[in-house]
Every structure is written in structure tokens, then in C-alpha cells.
Amino acid sequence: MRDKILYLLSGGDFVSGEKLAEHLDVSRTAIWKQMKALKTLGYEIESIKNKGYRLVSRPDIPIAEEITSGLDTRIIGKEVHYFKSLSSTNVFGKKLVEDGAHEGAVVVADVQTSGRGRKDRKWSSPKGGLWFSVVLYPHIPPHRGMLVTMVSSVSVAQGIKEVTGLSPVIKWPNDLLLNGKKVCGVLTELDAEMDRINYTVVGIGVNVNNSIDEKLQNTAISLIQESGSKISRVKLLKSILKYLDENYSRLRSGDYGSVRDLWFSHAKIIGKRIRVKGEKTVIEGTVSEIDDSGCLILDTGNGIARIVSGDVEYL
């Protein structure tokens, strides 16, 4: 009901409680209770006797009513689950899969108490950042699983560019950088069989208006630091989801080449000399290509190496 009330108030004029109640087929008392709940969430609503209610301002909180309003997507963001605090949006996303969640379901939290990055590294997720996960059923071969991370990374880069004007660079396999410091990380977890991926839960963490832990200030940065002004998390999330919907549709259709080309436009990695640290190996070389599965192709000087995973360091 709240989303319908907000829609009816979106014109900026006063709307009587009687008209709202009649339109929604509820009592005026029910309308009053909903207004009270909206004010608790942070909506500023003016009420004047004999005139009704007027929406004055909206909060920058990524609740379902804010995210789905005006979000014209085919797959992503039709279902949004918001929490003030959650252990991990990815963990909750996997529970949604078990319960039969629709593709494109989004889980977003103001704070994550047990946020994780790759290799179970702790991911700091304080208030002011954008921490969310998306449930996807790509039905693509497992060896192309990296492409899910690639479309997600590109979508974040495009969303940040649209909302802030900043142009982050994608660092393979899952980071976005501004001035050489991490502003976003992507964690893709999947369940697969021999010939197909059953589902993926893509966790995305963006440093938006949050402060950066003192221990991380040499390696991490926030959008507010770089832009000099506060960023709307609602606008940013809606922009990212819009681009993810477009880019994921390309992936679902099997257009792997355009996914790779789009990723290249934000990565700037070809020709760079890098060191890749795996579980038991360290390989150095110059990046000559990214193949159709999203793997790095390195010219080591002694031959060609195909890198499926690892931590990249620029030399």
C-alpha cells in the first residue's frame, strides 16, 4: 500500500485522506497509520486539516518503494528486500533462492555485520555505503561464469558514471578503482552442474558516503571523497540496476562478444604488465587478451598463460 500512497502523492500537491482512502479502498484510519509509518522511515509529509497530505521530501534509503518507483527494467529489481542491518546480503540472497525467489530479486542492507569479499576476506560495510546482492539464473555453461562478474562490474561503472560523473576503472577480476583505490568489490557465488549454472548471487559493495576505516585508507576510497559531495544511494542503486538489466540481457542472449567489448571499455588492462597470485602460484606477464569466458591471457615471455582466477597486482 505504501508504494501506491507515494505514487498518489508524487505530484507534490495536497491529496485528501478521503480521496486516498477511496482510491485504495481502505479506511482513513488505515491511511493515517501508513502516513505515520512513512514518516518513521524518513519521509517528510505535511498534513493540513481540510487539505490532506503532501509529500515534501523523500529519504535516501534504498527501501523497495524508492527503488521500484520508476525503475523500468525487464528482469532486475522487480523484488527488493531492504534491511537496516543484515549479516550478509549474499547469504540472505541464497536463502531467497532456496525459497524460490524470482530472478532479479535484490537484497540491500544499510549495514552488513559479516560482509565478505573473495576468499572469505572481511568486507567493511558501515552505514552510508551501498551493500546489495542480486539473484540471477543465467543458465550458461560454468566455464563462462566469470561473465556474470563482468556484466556486474560494468553495470556498477556505468551507474557511478551516470550519477556522479566519475569514471571508475575495472580491475580484473572483481574490483572497481578510482585513482588506484578500491571503490567497489563484486563477489559472485554460484551453484552449478557440469553443463550449466543453476543460479548465481552477485554481491556488490560500493563505498558511497561511508567513512573509510583508517587501516584501509591507503587502498580504499569512497565516492563522497572523490566527488566532494554526498551521493544519493537510491539514485545510484537504481542506475546500477538499470544498466545491469540491459547488460545481463546481452549475456542471457549469448552475446558474449559484446559483453567482453563493453568490459574492455572500462578495464584498460590490455598491454599492462601484471603479477597474478594464485593459491600456490605466482605468474608475471603482459595482458594480451581477455577470452570469451572472461579469463586473462598473459604473455609471460616464455609462453602464453590462461588465468582463471587470482589476485592481480600491476607492475
- In the prediction, which pLDDT does 42 show? 86
- In the prediction, which pLDDT does 234 show? 97
DSSP-derived letter for residue 270 is T
Phi, psi dihedral angles at 129 (to 5 degrees):
-90, 180
Q: Are strands 181-192 and 296-299 parallel, antiparallel or unpaired?
A: unpaired
Query: Does 64-267 match 2-57 at the fold level?
Result: no
- In the prediction, which pLDDT does 160 show? 98
Cell numbers linked to 232: 544519493
| CATH tag for 273-314 (out of 3.40.640.10, 3.40.630.10, 2.30.30.100, 1.20.1090.10) | 2.30.30.100
Phi, psi dihedral angles at 211 (to 5 degrees):
-80, 150
Cα 192 from Cα 121, distance rounded (Å): 23
Show pLDDT as tens, one digit a residue, over the chain (315 residues).
888 899 899 888 999 999 999 999 999 999 999 999 999 888 999 999 989 999 999 889 999 989 998 899 999 999 999 999 999 999 999 999 999 999 999 999 999 998 776 666 777 789 999 999 999 999 888 989 999 999 999 999 999 999 999 999 999 888 999 999 999 999 999 999 888 899 999 999 999 999 998 888 999 999 999 999 999 999 999 999 999 999 999 999 999 888 888 998 999 888 999 999 888 889 999 999 888 888 889 999 899 999 988 888 888
Per-residue CA distances from 240 to 23, 41, 133, 166, 269 (Å): 33, 23, 12, 14, 23
- In the prediction, which pLDDT does 119 show? 63
Phi, psi dihedral angles at 40 (to 5 degrees):
-65, -35
- In the prediction, which pLDDT does 279 show? 81
Neighbour tally for 44: CB within 10 Å: 12
Range 184-187 contact pairs with CB under 8 angstroms and sequence separation of 24 or more: 184/153, 184/156, 184/160, 185/117, 185/118, 185/123, 186/149, 186/152, 186/153, 186/156, 187/90, 187/116, 187/117, 187/118, 187/123
Q: Are 224 and 231 in contact (CB under 8 A)?
A: yes
- Give how far the C-alpha of residue 89 lies from the chain's centroid of Cα atoms, to the nearest Å: 11
- In the prediction, which pLDDT does 218 show? 92
- In the prediction, which pLDDT does 10 show? 86
The domain 64-267 having CATH identifier 3.40.630.10: the answer here is no
Cα 75 from Cα 193, distance rounded (Å): 23
- In the prediction, which pLDDT does 68 show? 92
Cα 248 from Cα 271, distance rounded (Å): 27
Domain borders along the chain are 2-57, 64-267, 273-314
Q: Are 148 and 121 in contact (CB under 8 A)?
A: no
Strand order in the sheet with 304-307: 304-307, 296-299, 282-290, 273-277, 311-314
Cell numbers linked to 146: 566469470
User: Which residue, among 93, 75, 143, 138, has the nearest Cα to 291 in the 3D structure?
Assistant: 143
Q: Are 221 and 178 in contact (CB under 8 A)?
A: yes
- In the prediction, which pLDDT does 118 show? 65
Q: Are 259 and 250 in contact (CB under 8 A)?
A: yes
Q: How crowded is the C-beta side of 95, counted as CA atoms within 13 Å?
A: 9
Q: Are 105 and 81 in contact (CB under 8 A)?
A: yes
Cα 66 from Cα 3, distance rounded (Å): 8
* CATH, domain range 2-57: 1.10.10.10
